């Protein structure tokens, strides 16, 4: 069963819904770097090589970002290459190849590379390595090149369409260790966007060097076969020398695989005793058509949302309820309210709805699996009222997309995945002029607040406060009908630590992991 999330060309919009019948959720709610701090017996430890990390993957190995088709394929690339910024185990942006950056107006950004940044052959990582990589991306047939547009990079549209020379793309070398990014408009959250897998640097290899695979990340390729890639520590890696594992092995496995010890499998597809559910920057909701004379009434939307069955997703371990808000849980605020009790009949009657003049709804959704099950839950819940009549409209995935784009719906199954960890990735679609706003929703107050978040003079603290105002406004107006936040099942050996189960980015670097009952990375010199 495919799940569609209307995402900005993210690779997370490509993958399939899994784990419908497999996997019991991990019961721990700990936010420690290792979820339950398990005690590991000698017998458990002996089945693993102490300084070797083994990662299982289902999909073909990919060594170039342009070839990625599944999000799990990015883990290997992130071990081999490092961009300007990276994520810490909690999912926050930290310095990568860039040790610092600044901007006076949020449109012109300057990034300074580490002076000791090296490729695995000892050569310097330079600003040109990034500029060349992004220019090649813009000229490629890689669909991820659209991310340059999403970044608001100057002249990206014209360069991608090849109506302007690639040298006019809004990124240029200032000196060997500094590059400038020029944007079309103020984008204060740009650093958070630069951890995207499409923005890794590329090495300019000579014909003699093409046989060697040169990297700038924490690890380098040592050996490769059809179903196995072995990595070793890159001795020139400048960002962090505290890597606990001297070797990392990526092992190709099949869906039934569970025989030999594997330390970590992301998006695991077989049953395991060591499943942890990591939140995703992906949410699932239904959209109202605000052009509909009845649905544009807040009282009606409030009544419909209040009738969502409380157990609508309780049977699915791979989802996380996100309350009244369609944003991921990590972007919500403590003071946000939950659903308020609503007198459904009274609300509907205020809108002129009676038994003689019932509310007639058309619910559009995918005609398979999870989507159909959730829709049936909604229909049963609403049908309990004598004032509501629901027409089910199950359609194919492609038809769902077409209907949403055309505005041919009343209430339609939708969703959103973000390419970076910031509320703007979700809230921007609420602007009345947003190309992603297919609901016909328009709120001058939200438009004004969104404009404030882009001001070059606003502080990070004030921007967060404005985000909170927008979120509260969407709750007050019942803009969408939130259902859940997606979660990814990850099988992790009980003696591996260094990750955080609240990290919503889907990124787990091998360099951050270590084995319990052995020296931690901070103890390694």
- A 10 A CB-CB count for 62 gives 18
Quick one: which of 366, 340, 197, 392 has its CA closest to 284? 366
What CATH number is given to the structural domain containing 146?
3.90.76.10
Look at residue 1 and tell me if it is in a domain.
Answer: no
Q: Are 39 and 111 members of one domain?
A: no
Residue environment code for 6-26, b if the CB has 16+ CB neighbours within 10 A, otherwise e: bbbbbbbbbbebbbeebbebb
Query: What was the pLDDT predicted at 39?
Result: 38
Look at residue 15 and tell me if it is in a domain.
Answer: no
Cα distances from 95 to residues 113, 122, 450, 495, in angstroms, run 9, 20, 27, 28
The residues, any chain, with a CB within 8 Å of residue 150's CB and separated by 6 or more, are 8, 9, 193, 419
Angle at 477 between CA 471 and CA 479, to 5 degrees: 75
Q: Are 463 and 335 members of one domain?
A: yes
Q: Is 55 helix (H, G, I), strand (E, B) or coil?
A: strand
Quick one: three-class SS letters along 457-481?
A: CCCHHHHHHHHHHHHHHHHHHCCEE
Q: Are 285 and 433 members of one domain?
A: yes
6 pLDDT more than 50 = no
- Give the whole-angstrom CA distance, residue 490 versus residue 71: 13
- Give the whole-angstrom CA distance, residue 73 versus residue 82: 15
Look at residue 407 and tell me if it is in a domain.
Answer: yes
Q: Are 263 and 336 members of one domain?
A: no
Greater model confidence, 518 or 505:
505
Q: Are 430 and 348 members of one domain?
A: yes
Query: What was the pLDDT predicted at 205?
Result: 78
For the ranges 116-130, 223-237, 316-330, 497-511, the lowest mean pLDDT is seen at: 316-330
For residue 183, the 8-state DSSP code is B
Q: Are 299 and 432 members of one domain?
A: yes
* C-beta of residue 431 within 8 angstroms of C-beta of residue 454: no
What CATH number is given to the structural domain containing 514?
3.40.190.10
Q: Are 361 and 507 members of one domain?
A: no
- Give the whole-angstrom CA distance, residue 405 versus residue 439: 9
Q: What is the average pLDDT across 298-323? A: 85
What CATH number is given to the structural domain containing 365?
3.10.105.10
* C-beta of residue 339 within 8 angstroms of C-beta of residue 306: yes
Full domain range(s) for residue 100: 82-205
Q: Are 461 and 318 members of one domain?
A: yes
Look at residue 342 and tell me if it is in a domain.
Answer: yes
Q: Are 196 and 285 members of one domain?
A: no
- Give the whole-angstrom CA distance, residue 277 versus residue 490: 6
- Model confidence at 11, in pLDDT bands (50, 70, 90)? very low
- Which of 205, 229, 249 marks a domain boundary? 205
Q: Are 432 and 500 members of one domain?
A: no
Greater model confidence, 523 or 396:
396
Q: Are 398 and 329 members of one domain?
A: yes
pTM of the model: 0.86
Q: If you write DSSP's letter for every residue of 83-141 in order, what string do you get? A: -SEEE-TTS-EEESSEEEEEESSSSEEEEEE-TT-B-TTSPBP-HHHHHHHHHHHHHSS
Instruction: State how many domains the chain has.
Output: 3
Task: Estimate the share of the chain in helix, then strand, then coil, as percent rounded to the nearest 5.
Answer: 25, 20, 50
């Amino acid at each position: 069963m495919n799940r569609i999330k209307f995402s900005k060309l993210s690779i997370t919009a490509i993958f399939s819904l899994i784990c419908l019948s497999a996997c019991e959720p991990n019961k721990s709610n700990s936010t420690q770097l290792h979820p339950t701090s398990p005690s590991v017996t000698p017998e458990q430890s002996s089945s693993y090589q102490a300084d070797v990390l083994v990662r299982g993957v289902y999909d073909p190995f990919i060594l170039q970002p342009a070839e990625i088709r599944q999000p799990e394929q990015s883990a290997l690339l992130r071990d081999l290459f490092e961009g300007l910024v990276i994520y810490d185990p909690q999912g926050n942006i930290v310095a990568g190849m860039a040790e610092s950056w600044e901007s006076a107006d949020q449109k012109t950004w300057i990034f300074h590379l580490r002076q000791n940044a090296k490729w695995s052959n000892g050569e310097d990582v330079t600003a040109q390595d990034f500029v060349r990589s992004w220019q090649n991306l813009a000229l490629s047939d890689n669909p991820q090149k659209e991310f340059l547009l999403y970044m608001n990079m100057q002249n990206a549209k014209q360069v991608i369409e090849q109506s302007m020379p690639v040298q006019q793309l809004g990124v240029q070398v200032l000196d060997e260790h500094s590059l400038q990014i020029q944007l079309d408009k103020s984008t204060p959250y740009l650093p958070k966007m630069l951890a995207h897998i499409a923005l890794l640097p590329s090495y300019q290899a000579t014909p003699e060097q093409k046989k060697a695979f040169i990297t700038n990340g924490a690890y380098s390729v040592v050996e490769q076969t059809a179903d196995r890639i072995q990595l070793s520590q890159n001795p020139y890696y400048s960002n962090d020398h505290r890597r606990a594992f001297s070797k990392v092995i990526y092992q190709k496995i099949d869906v039934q695989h569970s025989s030999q010890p594997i330390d970590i499998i992301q998006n695991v597809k077989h049953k395991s005793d060591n499943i942890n559910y990591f939140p995703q920057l992906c949410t699932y909701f239904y959209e109202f058509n605000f052009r509909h004379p009845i649905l544009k009434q807040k009282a009606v939307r409030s009544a419909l949302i209040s009738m969502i069955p409380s157990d609508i997703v309780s049977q699915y371990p791979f989802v996380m309820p996100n309350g009244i808000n369609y944003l991921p849980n990590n972007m919500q605020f403590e003071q946000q309210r939950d659903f308020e009790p609503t007198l459904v009949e009274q609300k509907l009657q205020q809108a002129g709805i009676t038994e003689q003049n019932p509310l007639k709804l058309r619910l559009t959704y995918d005609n398979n699996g999870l989507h159909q099950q959730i829709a049936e839950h909604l229909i049963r819940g609403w049908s309990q009222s004598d004032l509501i009549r629901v027409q089910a409209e199950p359609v194919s995935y492609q038809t769902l997309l077409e209907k949403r784009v055309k505005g041919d719906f009343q209430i339609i199954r939708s969703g959103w995945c973000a390419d970076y960890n910031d509320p703007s990735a979700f809230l921007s679609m609420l602007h009345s002029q947003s190309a992603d706003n297919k609901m016909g929703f328009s709120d001058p107050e939200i438009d004004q607040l969104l404009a404030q978040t882009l001001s070059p003079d606003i502080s990070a603290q004030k921007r967060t406060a404005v985000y909170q105002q927008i979120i509260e406004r969407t709750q007050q107006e019942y803009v969408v009908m939130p259902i859940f936040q997606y979660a990814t099942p990850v099988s992790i050996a009980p003696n591996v630590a260094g990750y955080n189960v609240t990290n919503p980015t889907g990124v787990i670097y091998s360099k951050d992991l270590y084995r319990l009952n052995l020296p931690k990375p901070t103890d390694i010199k």
